[in-house]
Structure 1
């Protein structure tokens, strides 16, 4: 009597599908945490993060050294930057004033009732802002102008996006434009568990005694994120792996010449294996070159700054990238250029492409602002290095250099396609 092997094959097939689904959910959870390290329960990926919590904790601890806390009230990946001197990171539209207000707002909410209004938050912020120490640093805040109210609303919307605040009633926009701030208000619930996870530091600044606290700004930054490192060969290897993985996941590209001797030696030997592990887990695509390594995302989901993109500024950025990439390709030794040269290039480009741009970008002198925006974007993407005097294209910008067109006949194309099928 024969035995039908079909049930075994079906069981294996079902098992393979389940493993594939688990792996895809794990990948999506990693990607979501990389983009939203502080995640509220209302986030679309939160349930996947909860289901994959144990596996995610192990992966982040092994590859990056970032702790991950997952609870019913939310999830927090304590991402800490590999390069504290990198000023390209940060919240969009934030300056020193708004960052100070964000910190003060968190201090107010820590002591607040479970609900708070926008107006009351502003009043308590003004009380904290009157501290003589803050005043000695030139910090001022009141609600007398629309610009100051706009700063407060920007902070509230940041906290809303993190889930720290949840809007119950009202609207912030009317508060900005009201002649009397009491005429328009909003009411929020305060989510304390998420509020407690706002600071990603290893050691909070309030834990320092006044006489022991570091004085210099850089020393203060490093003291907040300094991690314990085991004094062993394995501990040093782990620290190197974590540092490089953090850069590969956070930065557009890692250049070998940006690493010190110890990091360069480890990176040279391990970058293939590291790229493979990170790519498998995140779905990023590794691009290895002699100058370094990049993990790219074809979907664009893991980038807060996409290129190419839509809009006048994005088009101008792409044109400047092509211009600089062509200079780098044709004259590698003399690729250095100035912002004036880029501005002149965009002035000429406006005659050819200006009909695609918004009207204000075609006005005389608009190329100055376009050049500044384009160069800032390219710097944040790791495609150029710049100082007040010159701009230096970096190797990764070569992907935007257009080669000479190749004209092929129909018969040549047909032959090529046929050959590709063999």
Structure 2
């Protein structure tokens, strides 16, 4: 919360929290501390006191519905139409930094200042028999990703139903070990990621203490939900898991703080995990919740500008009044009517605020509604105040904010990478973090794997925490869609082409020429495009297919771009077929012959005499 105060120049006060549905500043008092603007900053305003209310019903698990909503005043005297909205100076400064940033810096700045990015992990694990020393295989930590076991599954022509939404799906339980999980989730298939509840190899052992097993599963479900969705409300799309967060908030607060250094604030209406910034070049961007279109620096600037006004706005706010206040407070106001790109940026910003439940009652057709500027929005000020986590008041500029937000002691910094990113390569770490990972090669990943229900994959180049259920990730390489299928096929063939031979000193990266990428992608599109039902727009526009496929591989950490060109990273080899390290059999007289190949007898008489 100290960072939140720095962001808004706020005073620490006990405040009401929201239900994420109809606003609700001051609805009930909790032990959570929220950051609000210092009273001296705002113009003098009349005050409306709500009647005193008792403690929030429902107890630790929040099972009962909140009461007292009918006592909420119909209007907020602090938001009379004659009074201008007062923007928060810290968020206004952040909006200016967004407007001046390039796209990559703007993405990093968003992750550092809001911390609402989800975790990202690989899915299917490698073949266990090849890495288990007990099964005769080599120790995993001594094997390179380039030549180790793979998680390869044939990609061509397979079909897969698209997921309805990225991130954590509804909680699934192991029916044998956990017959009941009081999370409100619907019954489902047994979850593959419930590691402590299911034994490996031999028959599963049903815990004798079923209550302890249920508690462990509930805590893991809640932790995974928060890591996938750092802002969870009691009435939002992940409301099924909110009672679990409330019930285990003390344990979750302690574990997140100890392992990752993330503060967790849980009130009666929402839970907020304050993630730290992942640092520069983390490839985390904000996208439109419906279309998936990436934010531009202008869109980020509009988002920060709207938040600067909403943290102290009235609960009922006319849309036209908000738009006028944003134009007046814009650090770089337009000289004439807004361009179409600016209108699209504004529509994206408001759509994300509605997705976060900061705003409600937006026009159904947002672009047309913005042009009309009619209607009244419902503002949840407490959720608006919960969004910023970065310290813009302490930073000199955008780059300094990104750096400050990622600062942590070596162990915490490495654990954050393990929990948030697909793979942690030692070559990418500073020396102090590399030394910590070397000294805690097994214990560090194991603690997080147990906390989040993941599986550790140790390799010579680094460590990856895997989620076989593909729930704790916002991206899945083996996902649906033309770009995802093309990306998987592309990385498979690139690895086969440039994979280093055993004994070659190449490190974690291997150069991959652009010409090879173009040639391989062209072959893939010709071979699999129409039979696999790929989108015709991609087949007609190979440049767009190349761009989106490489973008997915880049965001998954399998390809990186350096000044010298593109590099294929070692974890990419886990998606390619296992390497054949033996020489290929030939058919000549001096070649090593494959015993399964039968060479026909010569038919020429002269050839027979030579034989």
TM-score range, shorter chain: 0.7 to 0.9
Name the residue aligned to 1:247.
417
Pick closer, same or farther for the CA change 1:87–1:281 going to 2, 3 Å.
Answer: closer
Higher alpha-carbon Rg:
2
1:313 corresponding residue in structure 2: 483
Cα distance, 1:250–1:219 mapped onto 2, change above 3 Å: same
Q: Deviations over 1:363-399 (max 9, x none)?
A: 2xx2222112111211111112223652211110011
Q: Distance in 2 between matches of 1:19 and 1:185?
A: 54
1:11-410 equivalence runs, <5 A: 16-42=209-235, 43-81=239-277, 83-92=278-287, 93-129=294-330, 131=331, 134=332, 140=334, 144-165=338-359, 167-168=360-361, 171-173=363-365, 175-177=366-368, 181-182=371-372, 185-201=374-390, 203=391, 205=392, 207=393, 214=396, 216-223=397-404, 239-329=409-499, 335-355=510-530, 356=532, 357-363=534-540, 366-387=541-562, 389-403=564-578
Would you say the 8 A contact 1:336–1:391 is kept in 2?
A: yes
Q: Deviations over 1:336-377 (max 9, x none)?
A: 2223321222122221112021112222xx222211211121
Give unmatched runs, 5+ long, in structure 1: 1-12, 228-238, 410-422
> How many pairs align?
361
* CA contact 1:337–1:392 (8 Å) conserved in 2: yes
More relative contact order, 1 or 2 (CA 8 Å, 6+ apart): 2
Question: Aligned residue for 1:418?
Answer: none
User: Which SS does the other structure have where 1:271 is aligned?
Assistant: coil
Structure 1 Cα separation of the partners of residues 335 and 421 of structure 2: 34
Asked if the contact 2:276–2:405 (Cα under 8 Å) also holds between the matched residues in 1, the reply is no
- Asked if the contact 1:146/1:176 (under 8 Å) is kept, the reply is no
TM-score (norm 2): 0.55
Q: RMSD of aligned C-alpha atoms?
A: 2.7
Report the Cα distance in structure 2 between the residues aligned to 1:246 and 1:143, rounded to whole angstroms.
44
Match of 1:230 in 2: none
Is the contact between residue 479 and residue 485 of structure 2 (CA under 8 Å) also seen in structure 1? Answer: yes
After superposition, the Cα gap between the structure-2 partners of 1:141 and 1:69, relative to the gap in structure 1 and judged at 3 Å, is farther
Shift of 1:111: 3.1
For the residues of structure 2 that align with 1:376 and 1:273, how far apart are their CA atoms?
33
8 Å CA contact retained: 1:321, 1:400: yes
- Using structure 1 for the length normalisation, give the TM-score: 0.78
| Aligned residues of 1:141 and 1:148 also touching (Cα < 8 A) | no
Is contact 1:153-1:172 (8 Å) kept? no
Runs (4+) of structure 1 moved beyond 4 Å?
140-146, 223-227, 330-335
Paired position in structure 2 for 1:417: none
> 1:31 Cα deviation (Å)?
0.7
Assess, with a 3 A threshold, how the Cα gap between structure 1 residues 319 and 14 changes in structure 2: closer, same or farther. Answer: closer
Asked if 2 retains the 8 angstrom alpha-carbon contact of 1:84 and 1:221, the reply is yes
- Alpha-carbon spacing, 1:113–1:142, altered in 2? closer, same or farther (3 Å): farther
Alpha-carbon distance in structure 2 between the residues aligned to 1:16 and 1:187 = 53
Structure whose residues are more often helix by fraction: 1
Give the deviation of 1:101 after TM superposition: 0.7
Counterparts in 2 of 1:345 and 1:38: CA distance versus 1, 3 Å: same
- Give unmatched runs, 5+ long, in structure 2: 1-205, 288-293, 581-595, 597-611
